[in-house]
C-alpha cells in the first residue's frame, strides 16, 4: 500500500495563479482532510470530507476549494494564489470520523511558495 500520496512536493506560484494539489489514498478511508502548517500555528484544518460526494469547511477555508468525486481522491484547489497561502500543505485520511477520531495518516506534504 502506498498510503497517502501527495503531489507535487514543491510548488512556486505567482500571485493570482491557480493550481490544484493532488491527494490520493489507497486504504479505503472514509475521511480525508487538508491541513496547512505554518510556524508556531500547528496544523489548521482547511477542508474535510466524510465520504465521496460530501465536503465541508474547516477552520481556514477561504481561498480554497475541494471536491470528493471518489473515495480515493481529494484534490485541493487554490483559486487565486496569495502570498498568505505560502505554507506547507498536508493531506490526511482516516478510517472514520465518528465519535472518537480514528488516527490520521498523513501524506508527505506540499511546500508551496507564492510570490
Partner 1 sequence: GQQVMQIPQYQHVQEGEDFTTYCNSSTTLSNIQWYKQRPGGHPVFLIQLVKSGEVKKQKRLTFQFGEAKKNSSLHITATQTTDVGTYFCAGKSNFGNEKLTFGTGTRLTIIP
Closest separation between CB of residue 109 and partner 1, Å?
5
Query: By CB under 8 A, is residue 74 in contact with partner 1?
Result: no
Beta carbons within 10 angstroms of residue 96's beta carbon? 13
Using the minimum distance from each CB to partner 1, give the nearer residue, 14 or 100: 100
Query: Interface with partner 1 includes 99 (CB under 8 A)?
Result: yes
Q: Does 10 bind partner 1 (CB under 8 A)?
A: no
10: burial class by Cβ within 10 Å (0-12, 13-18, 19+)? exposed
Residue 63 contacts partner 1 per CB under 8 A: no
Cβ distance to partner 1 smaller for residue 78 or 97: 97
Which neighbouring-strand residues pair with 35? 45, 90
30/53 Cα distance (integer angstroms): 11
Amino acid at each position: 500500500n502506498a498510503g497517502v500520496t501527495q503531489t507535487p512536493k514543491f510548488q512556486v506560484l505567482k500571485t493570482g495563479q491557480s493550481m490544484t494539489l493532488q491527494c490520493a489514498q489507497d486504504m479505503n478511508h472514509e475521511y480525508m482532510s487538508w491541513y496547512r502548517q505554518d510556524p508556531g500555528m500547528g496544523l489548521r484544518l482547511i477542508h474535510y470530507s466524510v465520504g465521496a460526494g460530501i465536503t465541508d469547511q474547516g477552520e481556514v477555508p477561504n481561498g480554497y476549494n475541494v471536491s470528493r468525486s471518489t473515495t480515493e481522491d481529494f484534490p485541493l484547489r487554490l483559486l487565486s494564489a496569495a502570498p498568505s497561502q505560502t505554507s506547507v500543505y498536508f493531506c490526511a485520511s482516516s478510517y472514520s470520523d465518528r465519535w472518537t477520531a480514528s488516527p490520521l495518516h498523513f501524506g508527505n506534504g506540499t511546500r508551496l511558495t507564492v510570490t
